[in-house]
Structure 1
């Protein structure tokens, strides 16, 4: 789920590893912050969606605005099977619907759900996908369900903070009910007012930065007095 590495003293490294293991065992919601290019966020997001060699494969959902649809498909392709019992894409808008319809029949792509309506419809679609994954799995194991949610800036600009907060609260509860690992992108600084508003909903905040051309991450755990060092992103999960 996260790059390996220590935090300095050995006891701190053990505490960090234990905190990560607890998130996997219980299910968790992560807020991913920091302004980095789309392709670099996609790399970090893919590590959270899961190891493509995992057995059984992770059941992955990517929720993305229409302009990032290709980005979402790429993450699903990199992290496991694309059949409908293991991978789904939720996106918005008529153009997204047309793009899905025009996709060549011989092109292997995940099943795509296009949402044209309200935030309620978006939430209902996510809930339906979770229920279907749970049915396919015969009951989802801890950390088997993974979701990347890229639409938080869109929700904020379209519906406002109050509606976005309610949506996050409900969606996170649905994911936690199946012990899923879900992450929501908010490309703002860690100390920004909007990040502070949403942080109490999440188990941890993952801060991204670019350092010398490399992508690093730093984890801040809500219920522990624990913050990791800056760590390089890798694909261990």
Structure 2
């Protein structure tokens, strides 16, 4: 064990597994930090959205800005069914509107897309409605059945500022916890950055990403435990 409650995959693997299991049982929110290429973040995000062989399938929502739309669709395709009761995409822009309209007859191939052209309030309302629909489809969501990847935090910070973004994330996290969901928010900044320190109290754990020898590694920091993992390969959790 390293100083500060750290651990490797062998010596304290049981503690790490227990911490992760607790997050699933209670519903949790993760802050994903570190500046890595979009493709590598998408790989990490997909593992958090769930195993494609899960039974019942996870009900997955990705909230992504228009430039990240293809990454969002890839993640949804890789992690379970694409029918509207299991997968949704929320994004912005006229191009996305056209794509969403074209995809409706092909619901099993392209996820149903909700296009937001208005305010941050519209975004929050849409996310809440998707969660409610998933809950109705499921007849009550089980713990960890609902998963969400939220890629828009940097865009939101730029457009609305820290105070508004902070309040919005607080509400989104509370909604996810209400259905015992697992959600993760991307903030591509260093672990010791001021922005990361600002948002960390809203989350149950922070997942730090880095590239080492061309491979993506992750390190987990649990907020309410004296527990920080060593650097682990993606999939090591």
TM-score of the superposition, structure 2-length normalised?
Answer: 0.93
Which sections of structure 1, spanning at least 5 residues, go unmatched? 1-5
Deviations 1:164-221 (A, max 9, x none): 0000000100000000000000000000000000000000000000000000000000
- In 2, the alpha carbon distance for the partners of 1:195 and 1:106 equals 39
Structure 1 position 12, deviation (Å): 2.2
Equivalences for 1:74-93 in 2 at 5 Å?
Answer: 74-93=74-93
Q: Which runs of at least 4 in structure 1 moved beyond 2 Å after TM superposition?
A: 6-12, 98-107
Are the structure 2 counterparts of residues 9 and 67 from structure 1 closer, same or farther at C-alpha, using a change threshold of 3 Å?
closer
CA contact (8 A) 2:103 2:111 kept: no
Match of 1:174 in 2: 175
- In 2, the alpha carbon distance for the partners of 1:115 and 1:181 equals 23
- In 1, the alpha carbon distance for the partners of 2:143 and 2:103 equals 34
RMSD of aligned alpha carbons: 1.7
Match of 2:95 in 1: 95
1:32 is paired with a residue whose SS is strand
- In 1, the alpha carbon distance for the partners of 2:123 and 2:9 equals 44
Are the structure 2 counterparts of residues 9 and 39 from structure 1 closer, same or farther at C-alpha, using a change threshold of 3 Å?
closer
Structure 1 position 99, deviation (Å): 2.9
Equivalences for 1:47-196 in 2 at 5 Å?
Answer: 47-103=47-103, 108-196=109-197
1:219 is paired with a residue whose SS is strand
Equivalent pairs counted in the alignment come to 231
Which sections of structure 2, spanning at least 5 residues, go unmatched? 1-5
Structure 1 position 93, deviation (Å): 1.6
TM-score of the superposition, structure 1-length normalised?
Answer: 0.93
Structure 1 position 9, deviation (Å): 8.0
- In 2, the alpha carbon distance for the partners of 1:104 and 1:177 equals 30
2:196 is paired with a residue whose SS is helix
- In 2, the alpha carbon distance for the partners of 1:224 and 1:172 equals 19
- In 1, the alpha carbon distance for the partners of 2:75 and 2:8 equals 32
